[in-house]
């Protein structure tokens, strides 16, 4: 595309009750959507609010909806998402808007905690490092989901979150799945925390999270694993049993 052409960009302004504002941005070679937003903020309207940090797809802070689809904007080239010279930029869905393109991600991260998304080990730094075979099935399962950067693209894309706001969502459940497959982890209550109607069993396997995950992870597969594991534990009476000694 030539440098002289112009992009017509609609950007969400305000909070949950805001509206779109139009901007014209010069088209550049290898331009990312984040470049477009930054151009607007630096040259046209300094009051535009948006988030970014690393610009290289590591930090997970620049996610927003581009033409209706949640994406990481720093790694999204305009040429891949814009066919008619128009872009519509909106804040992530399923999260309250703070201002413009910035959402309040409290509930997203609170659900990570609710899903027991943190590692609980029993060894201290003074003990030998645990040996986990790279080709063991558990390690392979954990490996498949471990690269999540917490950008919220899956959460924004999930219809189940939209219609059941207490649903933990793909990112938190994916995190839980990597941890239940971590043989060093001793949190015996995690499976109970992610089971049931606010947890993995509400997933409709629509796969939007998997399609849109910028890291090409498959939360859908992890959630299916949790469903089977948790349902099996529930039928055996292990899900409501107190965790065994030494576990918490």
Partner 1 sequence: MSRSITVQAARRWYWQRITAMAMALFVAIHLFVMVYAIQGGLSAAEVLARTRGNMLWAVFYAAFVVLVAVHASIGIRNVLVEWAGLKDGAAGWASRLLGLVLLVMGLRAVWAVTLGGAA
Of 23 and 167, CB closest to partner 1: 167
For residue 84, the SS3 value is: coil
45 vs 39: CA distance, rounded Å = 9
Q: Using CB under 8 A, count the residues that bind partner 1.
A: 21
**Shortest Cβ 105–partner 1 spacing (Å):** 22
Q: Which is nearer to partner 1, 143 or 197 (CB)?
A: 197
Nearest by Cα to 168 from 230, 113, 86: 113
Among 1, 81, 198, 221, binds partner 1 (CB under 8 A): 198
What is the C-alpha separation between 207 and 101, in angstroms, rounded?
Answer: 25
Quick one: which of 85, 84, 104, 86 has its CA closest to 94? 104
**Which string of x and - marks every residue 205-234 that binds partner 1 (by CB under 8 A)?**
----------------------x--xxxxx
CB of 85 to partner 1, least distance (A): 38
Q: Which of 59, 201, 207, 221 binds partner 1 (CB under 8 A)?
A: 201
Residue among 145, 140, 70 nearest 115 (CA): 145
Among 97, 103, 176, 192, binds partner 1 (CB under 8 A): 192
Q: Is 239 in the site for partner 1 (CB under 8 A)?
A: yes
In whole angstroms, the minimum distance from the beta carbon of 180 to partner 1 comes to 14
* Residue 202 makes contact with partner 1 by CB under 8 A: yes
- Residue from 27, 39, 99, 164 touching partner 1 (CB under 8 A): that is 164
Q: Does 199 bind partner 1 (CB under 8 A)?
A: yes
First CA to last CA distance, the chain: 58
74 binds partner 1 (CB under 8 A): no
Which segment (24-32, 172-180, 194-202, 217-225) binds partner 1 by CB under 8 A?
A: 194-202
The strand ranges marked E within the chain are 6-13, 19-26, 63-66, 69-72, 86-90, 97-99, 102-103
What is the rounded distance in angstroms from the CA atom of residue 35 to the CA atom of residue 70? 17
Please name which of 185, 171, 170 lies closest in space to residue 139, comparing C-alpha atoms.
185
Contact 171, 178 (CB under 8 A): no
Least separation in angstroms between residue 232's CB and partner 1 is 8
Q: Determine the 3-state secondary structure of 170 from DSSP.
A: helix
143 vs 166 by CB, closer to partner 1: 166
**Token pair 């802070």 in the structure block, residue:** 61
Our finding on whether 195 is near partner 1 (CB under 8 A) is yes
Please report whether residue 240 would count as binding partner 1 according to CB under 8 A.
Answer: yes
- Name which of 37, 25, 97 is nearest 66 in CA terms: 37
Least Cβ distance, residue 235 to partner 1 (angstroms): 6
Where do contacts with partner 1 occur on this chain (CB under 8 A)?
A: 160, 163-164, 166, 192, 195-199, 201-202, 227, 230-235, 239-240
């Amino acid at each position: 595309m030539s440098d002289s052409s112009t992009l017509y960009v609609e950007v969400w302004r305000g909070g949950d009750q805001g509206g779109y504002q139009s901007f014209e941005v010069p088209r550049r070679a290898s331009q990312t959507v984040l470049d477009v937003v930054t151009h607007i903020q630096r040259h046209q309207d300094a009051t535009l609010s948006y988030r970014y940090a690393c610009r290289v797809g590591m930090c997970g802070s620049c996610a927003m909806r581009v033409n209706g689809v949640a994406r990481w904007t720093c790694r999204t080239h305009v040429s891949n998402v814009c066919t008619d010279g128009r872009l519509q930029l909106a804040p992530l869905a399923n999260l309250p808007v703070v201002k413009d393109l910035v959402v309040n991600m409290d509930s997203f991260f609170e659900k990570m905690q609710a899903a027991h998304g943190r590692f609980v080990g029993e060894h201290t730094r003074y003990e030998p490092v645990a040996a986990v075979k790279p080709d063991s099935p558990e390690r392979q399962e954990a490996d498949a989901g471990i690269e999540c950067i917490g950008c919220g693209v899956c959460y924004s894309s999930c219809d189940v979150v939209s219609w059941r706001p207490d649903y933990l969502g793909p990112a938190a459940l994916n995190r839980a799945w990597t941890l239940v497959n971590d043989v060093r982890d001793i949190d015996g209550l995690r499976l109970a925390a992610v089971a049931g109607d606010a947890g993995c069993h509400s997933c409709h396997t629509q796969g939007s999270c998997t399609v849109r995950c910028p890291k090409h992870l498959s939360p859908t597969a992890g959630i299916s694993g949790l469903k089977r594991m948790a349902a099996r534990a529930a039928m055996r009476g292990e899900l409501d049993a107190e965790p065994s000694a030494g576990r918490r």
